[in-house]
Amino acid sequence: MSAGFPSGSRSPILPGATIGFLGGGQLGRMTALAARSMGYDIQVLDPEAACATRPVASRTITAKFDDVNAAVDLASQCDVITLEIEQIHPDVLDAVAARTTLHPGREAVYIIQDRIRQKQWLKANDFPLGAFVAAQSADDIADAVRTHGPCIAKSTHGGYDGRGQVRLSNVDQAKDAWTALGGHPCVVEQRIDIAYEISVLVARSASGQVAVYPPSRNHHTSGILTWAVVPAVISDAMTQRAQHLARGVAERIGIVGLLAVECFVTKDNTLLVNELAPRPHNTYHHSERGLATSQFEQLVRAVCDLPLGDTTAFAPSAIVNLLGDVWVQDTPPAMEHALEVDGVRLHLYGKAGARAGRKMGHLSAIGTSAQDALGRVLESYRRLSPATTGSFDVHEPVLAHITS
């Protein structure tokens, strides 16, 4: 669903212009491909010379995300700059914004890129979330466990895909957790009795137009997304609650671009915000298949202040991630067998050096229902890499309609 443009003048950045990316991973690559198809030129800055976006960009600057001079160089040749990773130094964001259009802006990114700041902002703005403690020491971690019971301690920066997290069951583990997280401030979250996980993606343009995607139902294994599917097979009431919540967060924080709002739904049907991401999100890779506008095209529209695209789901769609585990087995992945499953497509990110836990690509599918679409990608995964299917269930049905 989307809202129309507010009154007032607009100055869209039209095809033929150059879009710069801070970050050249797979999210940048897929967004750059969408931008290319719309007629935009692409430049990118990334610490890795052979980053995934490089083959799609006309110019790649190899530099760290705190290199102000390199960022100024990028900004000097771009009409708008966006990001595909939030861990960009604030000085870089300031330097870019002083020279060209930057979306999302510094303030929203600054809040989101630190988990303590993010949690405190959500709490201050009355958005629902689980109990947490901003820990400045091992003693703070121990106090959090005493107060809230079993917890998860998370690093304040980075730590995606299950990294930078320590589970705690008792206070005796606090010192080791503090050490494991580098002896730095961390956020300690009370463990939640989760029924299921969803996310909602919101797009917002500089003109204030908003488009909200249908919720995605998600499943993680060891902290890494395993699969995601739309429709989420949840009640209409929960769908509306989640979309309303996500839109409220996006508008309050003033995002221009995309905001993914990851949520937990507890076993007593409470909706809680887990984390925010100001960029394309792994849980919406299926938007390329079953939704009227992919998240990647939508990001281009949003940061260039073009009319936002329709977010209607025209077919059930699902993805399953392909991690480096698939490539480090004794038997190489059987791509040809994976593609025997009707409705399945293979998406590889062009990364060199597969390793366990590294996202190398994904499989996507459309189907007649959410269960059918998910079943297709799971069956395709089973055929591609039988040796790694033991890490999650690829045989039995995993979706049941949730009515409350």
Q: In angstroms, rounded to a whole number, what is the distance separating the alpha carbons of residues 259 and 277? A: 6
Burial 49-77 (b: 16+ CB within 10 A, else e): eebbbbebbebbbbbebebeebbebbbee
Secondary-structure breakdown of the chain: helix, strand, coil percentages, each rounded to the nearest 5: 30, 25, 40
Strands (E), 251-343: 257-266, 271-277, 317-323
Whether residue 362 is annotated as binding a ligand: the answer is no
Whether residue 115 is annotated as binding a ligand: the answer is yes
Whether residue 189 is annotated as binding a ligand: the answer is yes
Whether residue 139 is annotated as binding a ligand: the answer is no
The DSSP-derived string for 335-400 is HHHHTTSTTEEEEE---SS--TT-EEEEEEEE-SSHHHHHHHHHHHHHHH-GGGGGGS--SS----
Whether residue 355 is annotated as binding a ligand: the answer is no
Whether residue 274 is annotated as binding a ligand: the answer is yes
Whether residue 396 is annotated as binding a ligand: the answer is no
Whether residue 383 is annotated as binding a ligand: the answer is no
Distances (CA, A) of 232 to 130, 309, 373, 379, 402: 22, 21, 12, 19, 9
End-to-end CA distance of the chain: 23
Whether residue 154 is annotated as binding a ligand: the answer is yes
Whether residue 160 is annotated as binding a ligand: the answer is yes
Whether residue 390 is annotated as binding a ligand: the answer is no
Whether residue 165 is annotated as binding a ligand: the answer is yes
Whether residue 118 is annotated as binding a ligand: the answer is no
Q: What's the 3-state SS for 267-282?
A: CCCCEEEEEEECCCCH
- Distance of alpha carbon 364 from the chain centroid: 16
Short-list 87, 44, 84, CA closest to 66:
87
Whether residue 106 is annotated as binding a ligand: the answer is no
Whether residue 29 is annotated as binding a ligand: the answer is no
Q: What residues form the annotated binding site?
A: 115, 154, 159-165, 189-192, 197, 220, 274-275
Binding residues for ATP: 115, 154, 159-165, 189-192, 197, 220, 274-275
